[in-house]
Amino acid sequence: MPVRVVDSSAPSQVSGANPSHTSPPACTLLSVGQAFSGTQNVSSLQKDEAWRVNVRIQGCDLDHGYLCGTMEALNVPMADTPVVTFWEGEIVDMKNYTFFTGKWEATSEVDTRHWTKFPSFSPLLSQVEVDGGRSLDLSNYPYIFMRWKEQYFVNVGTDCGLTIAGFYYVCFSCSDGSINGFYYDPNSSPFQKLELKVTNEGRSGFSFSSYELQ
């Protein structure tokens, strides 16, 4: 489990005691129902390959640093239909989750190697190296860093020849809703890049529907 930062050791740069300051910026494009589309580069030494990918956010709980949704891979060679997986995300908010994964076979070196692939991470690197980024206040940072871990296949069996053993290091841009990610699985080709753009699915603008569970 990642280190859960208790309130007493909350980022030092945060002024006042309002815990909502430690939450990431509430970005309207990171909300329930929002769709994204793009590609995942799965190239290996043998061949160049990219799968088309659609993502939809299905649940979001910023207070707990939680996000979930589905990911649909469209032109997967060994599958007859698009392969849909359900994933759960951890938002690096320094309250619930830090930059260090602490599980899923990811050491802090692996974490750093992946986070530094995002240009938007470089201003944070030195502080992360000092104290794991605990003193950082990301509440107004224009990027949201996350880890997305696929939990299960929605529409195919586990015998489909595909694996969801790894997870994604994700960087979301609050300004344009674009998402970049790198897939990490010690047994798959390294640094498979996920690139997604926000989509309004043919609507004339952005609007948001909502649901509420009880």
7 part of the interface to another protein, by CB under 8 A: no
Element (H, E) at 145: strand 143-153
Single-letter code of the amino acid located at 49: E
**Angle, helix 122-131 to helix 108-115, in steps of 10 degrees:** 160
- Pull the structure tokens for residue 185: 């699985």
88: contact with another protein by CB under 8 A: yes
Q: How far is the CB of 36 from another protein (least distance, A)?
A: 13
Binding to another protein by CB under 8 A, coded x per residue (else -) over 133-172, reads ------------------xx-xx-----------------
**Does 16 interact with another protein (rule: CB under 8 A)?**
no
* Residue 124, Cβ density class (10 Å: 0-12 exposed, 13-18 middle, ≥19 buried): buried
Is 19 a residue that touches another protein (CB under 8 A)? no
Stretch that binds another protein, among 1-9, 95-103, 119-127, 199-207 (CB under 8 A): 199-207
d(CA 160, CA 207): 36
Residue 175 as a binder of another protein (CB under 8 A): the answer is: yes
> Considering beta carbons, is residue 89 or 132 the nearer one to another protein?
89
Shorter beta-carbon distance to another protein: residue 75 or 200: 200
Partners of 78 in the β-ladder: none
Contacting residue, 103, 105, 122, 206, with another protein by CB under 8 A: 206
| Class of residue 24 by CB neighbours under 10 A (exposed 0-12, middle 13-18, buried 19+) | buried
- Which is closer to another protein, CB of 178 or CB of 189? 178
What's the CA gap between 110 and 116, in Å, rounded? 10
Tally Cβ neighbours within 10 Å of residue 140.
9
The token pair at 71 is 């990911």
Q: How far is the CB of 78 from another protein (least distance, A)?
A: 22
Minimum separation from the CB atom of position 182 to another protein (A) = 23
Show contacts with another protein in window 20-39 (CB under 8 A). 20, 25-29, 31, 33
Eight-state DSSP code of residue 161: S
Under the rule (CB under 8 A), what is the footprint of another protein?
20, 25-29, 31, 33, 56, 58-59, 68, 70, 84, 86, 88, 151-152, 154-155, 174-177, 198, 201-214
